[in-house]
Amino acid sequence: MTSSQGSGGRWSDLDRPPLNETALRRALVLPDGLWTSLDVVPTTGSTNTDLAARAADLPEGAVLVAEEQTSGRGRLDRTWTAPARSGIFVSVLLKPDVPAHRWGWLPLLTGVAAATGLAKAAGVDMSLKWPNDLLVSVKGEERKTGGILAERAGTDGVVVGLGLNVTLREDELPVPGAGSLLLADAVSSDRDTLLRAVLRSLAQWYGEWVRAGGDPAASGLQEAYAAGCATLGRRIRAELPGERTLEGEAIALDGDGRLVVATEGGGTEAVGAGDIVHVRTPDL
């Protein structure tokens, strides 16, 4: 459906209204809450890049949302593109008062928070692909609908970005195998509602984690991630740094957030970084 303003108008797609910045601030930026500011911009290259550039001058809890990202980035320098107002493109600034070696849990924490918040708000079962993908089921097929990227910002900060496909139609998907909440038959595709749910869930999980000193077990994070992780129990292929490949069964998540893989030779190896492929097993 299009309006009479033409393809370039702000309301050119009535199925994709703009976010309500004022209402989002009123709902999320609270005196005793984590979120200290919230800005929505019409378009930018990357919310992570923009927020990281300002991190030294901002308090923890700054939130930057874009209606459109033209140079969104994922892991391994992959690009993330989508039509304007078709998704949630948000970055948050965190300055966790926990030991730095625990900071690697932040993308996993964000995945748990997003999945739990969206399951309630969108009515869609979501699962996590280690380390930073959000998956939905589209006609029985596992599809990536979101990704998370955490980057250091200065000496005491981390910028965590989330990109989520909300209303993308099949012909708009950036790559084969991608998905969206719309294609997964979400009960709601209202981005204001979904963004509030994600940020409230993230604040709750982050608070628990910080209060536990970043301990993933004591905060319940390690158990929650394992419960929602589609990678565990699966045969995987890991493309590791140095052009090394590892194949085996993903059997656990260790205390550092690494994926423990049972290898062909009978041993185990903990993978801290790499590109993970879920290997399909032949039907018996």
Does a structural domain hold residue 84? yes
Shared domain for 220 and 241, answered yes or no, is: no
Q: 56: Cβ–Cβ under 8 A, 6 or more apart, which residues?
A: 153, 154, 157
Q: Are 52 and 176 in a shared domain?
A: yes
Verify that 60 and 143 share a domain, yes or no: yes
Residues 54, 90: one domain?
yes
Q: Is 76 a residue whose pLDDT tops 90?
A: no
Domain extent, residue 246, equals 235-278
- For residues 17 and 23, what is the distance between their CA atoms, to the nearest angstrom? 14
Among 3-12, 103-112, 128-137, 275-284, the range scoring the smallest mean pLDDT is 3-12
**pLDDT score, position 259:** 97
Q: Does residue 175 sit within a domain?
A: yes
**CATH number (domain holding residue 81):** 3.30.930.10
**What's the whole-number average pLDDT of the chain?**
91
Question: Same domain, yes or no, for 205 and 257?
Answer: no
The whole-number average pLDDT for the span 59-77 is 82
> Do 105 and 171 belong to one domain?
yes
pLDDT score, position 5: 36
pLDDT attached to residue 176: 83
Please tell me whether residues 224 and 261 are part of one structural domain. Answer: no
User: Domain boundary at 204, 228, 252, which?
Assistant: 228
The answer to whether residues 135 and 164 touch, using CB atoms and an 8 Å cutoff, is: no
4 — pLDDT class (breaks 50, 70, 90):
very low
**Tens of pLDDT, residues 216-240:** 999 999 999 999 999 999 999 999 9
Distance of alpha carbon 21 from alpha carbon 35, whole angstroms? 14
In a domain, 9, yes or no: no
The answer to whether residue 8 is domain-embedded is: no
Q: Are residues 239 and 214 in the same domain?
A: no
- In-domain check, residue 3: no
4 assigned to some structural domain: no
Residues 91 and 220 occupy one common structural domain: yes
Q: In degrees to the nearest 10, what's the CA dihedral of 17, 133, 98, 226?
A: 120
- Residue 164 in domain: yes
Would you say residue 66 lies in a domain?
yes
**Side chain identity at residue 224, one-letter code:** A
What is the pLDDT confidence band of residue 175, given thresholds at 50, 70 and 90? confident
214-220, long-range: CB within 8 Å, 24+ apart, which pairs? 214/96, 214/98, 214/99, 214/102, 214/103, 214/105, 215/102, 216/102, 216/105, 216/255, 216/257, 217/255
Shared-domain flag, residues 48 and 129: yes
Domain count, the chain: 2
How far, CA to CA in Å, does 103 sit from each of 29, 96, 176, 204, 232? 24, 8, 32, 17, 22
Q: Is 148 left (phi over 0), alpha (psi -120 to 50) or beta?
A: beta
Beta carbons within 10 angstroms of residue 152's beta carbon: 13
**Are 193 and 257 members of one domain?**
no
CATH code at position 259 = 2.30.30.100
pLDDT over threshold 50, residue 49: yes
Is 209 found in the same domain as 271?
Answer: no
CA distance 101 to 90: 25
Question: In b/e form, how buried is each residue of 34-50, taking b as 16+ CB within 10 angstroms?
Answer: bbeebebeeebebbbbb
Between residues 79 and 96, the one the model is more confident about: 96
